[in-house]
Structure 1
């Protein structure tokens, strides 16, 4: 029996849960839903005040970067500059990831159901 993996991205947890429940109805129990992030979830350990100069970078001020290593990359992101909307890529806003391994015979039907829930596979 051949298996296929599913990595589907959604805008909301509710959309992903509809598909997760459908997958579980097929007898597959190993389904995972996670929120993914462009950057680390680490936050600054102390308050930073731009008036007193206690900020390491623009990314620290706008995105809450806790470390200096990713600061320049985070500052270059469109969400830090305020001058762009990010270009409207197809994946914008899809920060919910559903992961599952399904039988190959079930894959096409689930792919269609994921698209019906506005998911990206």
Structure 2
């Protein structure tokens, strides 16, 4: 038999980890859970706090931060408090479960994901 892949999106890592445990119990060939973002997650908390204190212009002028994805993160409209936050990025489902399962258990695995609230 062949293999099938599953990409499912969740709102929180606990939901995805629970599904990952169930899929591993069914002998899934590979399962991983990751968070994704529109920008690099490296140091995003640092850049967010800098943007709040000093503003984006201060970050840009003569700063080593000017070549960082943190500037993009800080300048995003969703960080201003004036946005509804839906500029085409993740809408709350920013946890990705990726799984490779045997074709014979694919439908059962999909049912487990859906019952846990995952978007396929």
- Cα distance in structure 2, aligned partners of 1:74 and 1:50: 11
Q: Which runs of 5+ in 1 are unaligned?
A: 58-65
RMSD: 3.1
TM-score, length of structure 1 as denominator length: 0.69
TM-score, length of structure 2 as denominator length: 0.69
Q: Is 1:23 the counterpart of 2:31 in the alignment? A: no
Question: Alignment length, in residue pairs?
Answer: 109
* Matches for 1:18-57 after TM superposition, within 5 Å: 18-43=18-43, 50=54, 54-56=58-60
Change in Cα spacing, 1:19 to 1:32, as seen in structure 2 (3 Å) is same
Q: Which runs of 5+ in 2 are unaligned?
A: none
> The residue matched to 1:100 in structure 2 has which SS?
strand
Instruction: Give the aligned partner of residue 14 of structure 2.
Output: 14
Shift >3 Å, 4+ stretches:
66-74
Change in Cα spacing, 1:74 to 1:107, as seen in structure 2 (3 Å) is farther
